[in-house]
Chains A and B, each alone.
Chain A
Amino acid sequence: MLSTLPTAKTKTKKQYRGVTRVTRVIQKLAFWVPLIIMIAMIILAIFANFIAPHDPNLPKITDRYTPPVFMEGGKSEYLLGTDQIGRDILSRLIYGARVSLSVSLLVILITAAIGTMLGIAAGYSGGRADAIIMRVVDMALSFPGLLLAMLLAVAIGPGFTTVVLALSILGWAGYARMIRGEALRISQSDFVAQARVNGASGWRIMTRHIFPNIINSLIVLMTLQVGMMILAEAGLSYLGLGITVPTPSWGAMVSDGRANLDNAWWISLFPGVCIGLVVLSGNFLGDWIRDKLDPRLRQL
């Protein structure tokens, strides 16, 4: 009986070592692959006019419904095929990266800044200010964002500004509500009480004591939002409320292919894959950032 014990021990140790090695490789991949995809997308977005093999908006009726190159009937000049009026899908995807990335980046910066300020103010000060801010948040949150986007699209016409406005006007509320919850929790902690006893001003407590403690939640929320904003933009474009012709956008491309599902599925497939890849990369990088920022969680 005694002799079996050491063997069992070494075995678990070996297994454990094997697991960590595999996990380490996966962890590395989960960081590098999304990072490379993200950087590649940013480069594509910035240099779209140099990289795209064709004019994304030039129709060529004779080449319409050309399947991707790996399928029967595919042509090497159209790697991912063409759509219903013969535009090169690859080129349209490359230009589409511009729309997705710029809209989401802008919206996230605007909404996170507003939401954090209001959220901390509400959570820390409590009382009337809290009640008022939170009622506005409730209103913003209960207003279907899509309706606002539609109204804006009708009022000022669909386009870049409309999408950014529609997503920003309501988007901050999510941050405010989440941050307020955190700020409320932190406000009740001993170190905030201590700071108050020491005579720290409200501003100082909010910026030096509460804010550092919510940064991690904020960053995780912001990185989650990269994906969500790209998805929201795609959704608006899909319905025809967002970026419209002649600028290609991934959401609108999915919508373009809907009528041709039975004979040209690639028109809808590839833009969705692009959206998925970028959002996936954003989320993976977010996870990685969280693990780095919150070593507490890694210990578990």
Chain B
Amino acid sequence: MVRFIIIRLLQCIVAFFGILIITFLLLRVSGDPAALLASPNFSPEQVQAIRVELGLDKSWGEQLGIYLNQVAHGNLGESLLQKKPVITKIGDALPNTLKLMVPSFVLAMILAFILGVLAATYRDSWWDNIVKFLAVLGQALPGFWVAIMAVLIFSVQLQWLPVAGMDTPANYILPVSTIVFFTMPGMMRLVRSTMLDVLDSEYIKMARIKGLPERTVIWKHALRNALISPLTIIGMLLPGVVTGAVITEQIFNWPGMGRLLVEATFARDFPVVQAVVIITAILVLGINLLIDISYAWVDPQIRFQRT
């Protein structure tokens, strides 16, 4: 098990540097920030001066080397537009995003597992139909549209909830609901279908024939075997949640990483975009690592095969 974890950790580090380099190159391909920073009446010499000042005149290889060196020393650079260390911007934005994302994601997953298992257990009951209806609706309606409609109903028409800001608990209701709304259904559907597959298997029949109580059959024998594919999906959900968070933060004017990313990308503020990607990559890779470890823990076959 230790060997498995060490190998996966090393692989994560390689993947992380891969992401770092690709982001760096993609951003350089996408445009020249010096031309964007300079006002239109700047002479070519002045633009060149900006380039030299920012280190953009060096070759990409050199820039990449300098950049990797900085990152290795924990220095994420300075925002091109505001002359502020990127780390302070991230420091402001990241907690706000986490405050929104963690409760939303945890809530969504708990609801998804409970509802999914119940729906599979009581297949074709009214209960199953409600879950199916919720899942179907949640997967069909775009999160941004639902959020806007929620704003229309609860903020504009009824004036119950605030549109933007994050000062009071009431501010959390609409954004959290939005994220739960588009995160939960896919998971719920998958838990349900995996559970159905598992419940049809021979070992579940065997467990029932043995006379085990139905509760043990469902929550121990079946759920444990049904955990594997939903667990892999949690990792797959994360970037979607990040993307969703960007849109959610835009709609509710939430001062988090998502809004920072959108603003920085449109302004071609390289260091900020890179930093956002690095932090996101670390979070997502780290969570994926945990998932892989739990995957190996749930199914010992994988532990021995993968390493």
Q: State the A residues within 8 Å of B (CB).
A: 23, 126, 130-131, 135, 138-139, 141-148, 150-152, 154-155, 170, 174, 177-178, 181, 184, 188, 220, 224, 227-228, 231, 234-235, 238-239, 251, 254-255, 257-258, 261-262, 265, 268-269, 271-272, 275-277, 279-280, 283-284, 296-297, 299-300
Contacts and interface: CB of A to CB of B under 8 A. Distances in A.
A146 B27 contact: no
Interface stretch (B73-81, B83-91, B240-248): B240-248
Contacts of A23: 124
B9 interface: no
A142 B136 contact: no
Given A239-B250, A258-B148, A280-B140, A145 B26 contact: no
11 contacts: A138-B11, A139-B22, A142-B19, A142-B281, A144-B246, A144-B261, A150-B262, A184-B302, A272-B141, A297-B200, A299-B200
Interface in B114-139: 123-124, 136-137, 139
A257 B156 CA distance: 14
Interface of B: 11-12, 14-15, 18-19, 22-23, 26-27, 29-31, 123-124, 136-137, 139-146, 148-149, 151-152, 156, 186, 189, 193, 196-197, 199-200, 228-229, 232-233, 235-236, 238-240, 242-243, 246-247, 250-251, 261-262, 265-266, 268, 273, 276-277, 280-281, 284-285, 288, 301-302, 305-306
A155 B25 CA distance: 12
A188 to B, nearest CB: 7
Contacts of B229: 178, 181
A177 B232 contact: yes
Per DSSP, chain B at the interface is helix
A249 to B, nearest CB: 12
Contacts of A262: 156
B188 to A, nearest CB: 13
A141 B236 contact: yes
B29 A155 contact: yes
Contacts, number: 174
A298 B261 CA distance: 46
Nearest to B246: A146
Given A151-B27, A154-B30, A272-B142, A144 B15 contact: no
A143 B281 contact: yes
A150 B270 CA distance: 13
Interface centre among A143, A154, A269 (most CB of B within 10 A): A143
A262 B148 CA distance: 11
Contacts of B141: 272, 275-276, 279
A150 B250 CA distance: 15
Q: Which 4 pairs from chain A and chain B are nearest by CB? A: A272-B145, A142-B284, A155-B30, A280-B140
B15 A139 contact: yes
B15 A251 contact: no
Contact of A142 (B27, B265, B285, B302): B285
B273 A181 contact: no
A177 B27 contact: no
Nearest to B302: A184
B121 to A, nearest CB: 11
A138 B228 contact: no
